[in-house]
Amino acid sequence: MSTQATLVDYGLGNMLSVHRMLEHCGAKVNIAALPDDIISAERLVFPGVGAFASGMQELAKRGMIGALREFARGGRPILGICLGMQLFMSIGEEFGEHVGINIIPGRVKQIPSVNNLRNSVKIPHIGWNAIVNEQNKESWDNGILKGIQPGEFVYFAHSFYVDLRDKQLCIAQCVYENTSIPAVVRLNNIHGCQFHPEKSGPVGIKIIKNFLTLA
């Protein structure tokens, strides 16, 4: 019997490629277009492409914000991808300050245009980059990165990053233009990837399979 995975549709997700990846990894995929679809899910995948403010607007219009918070409190696995992960945070600073879903304490900030060596930084950060592990080795080995070696490459496409209130929630980082960026975050059952697993080849497949096997 295949694992059930529910993909949240709020108008801004990379739905087709994520749907195909989930099916490729053995999941039976359901689509959540209503709050009740979220609340009744076995596990949720929350994708996202675009701006923080418009993401929250679309979730509010569909009445999904409360349902996502309720699901996260329930202990079942949830995975946010790119903007999806960013929307988990408390506040987003893209085009003004906006309240997020607020299930992980943190702020979404623009990647600095100048790094700590005073060199200009090309924004957005697009392309393949390595994920590394400076701490939380246990969380790396027991979550969605199980079986993946530090230094593996995954695919990024973003201009903003998450600044976590509790830095221990950062499971993996990447270094872009001498700036450290959280690449994988985790708070209990809530997981997030700044990169796109569905575009990250064999490493992305392993991450999705790991998520599908989480209790």
Catalytic residues, by residue number, are: 82, 196, 198
Look at residues 41, 39, 51 and name the one whose alpha carbon lies nearest to residue 12: 51
| Burial per residue of 189-213, b for 16 or more beta-carbon CB atoms within 10 angstroms, e otherwise | bbbbbbbbbbbbeebbebbbbbbbe
Instruction: Report d(CA 65, CA 69) in Å as an integer.
Output: 6
Ordered strands of the 89-92 beta sheet = 98-99, 89-92, 104-110, 160-164
Q: Token digits for 94?
A: 């893209």
Q: Are 212 and 149 in contact (CB under 8 A)?
A: no
Query: Strand 98-99 to strand 89-92: parallel, antiparallel, or no bridges (unpaired)?
Result: antiparallel
- Provide the token pair at 131: 């994920």
- What are the residues whose beta carbons fall under 8 Å from the beta carbon of 79, sequence distance 6 or more? 43, 44, 45, 46, 144, 191, 192, 193, 211
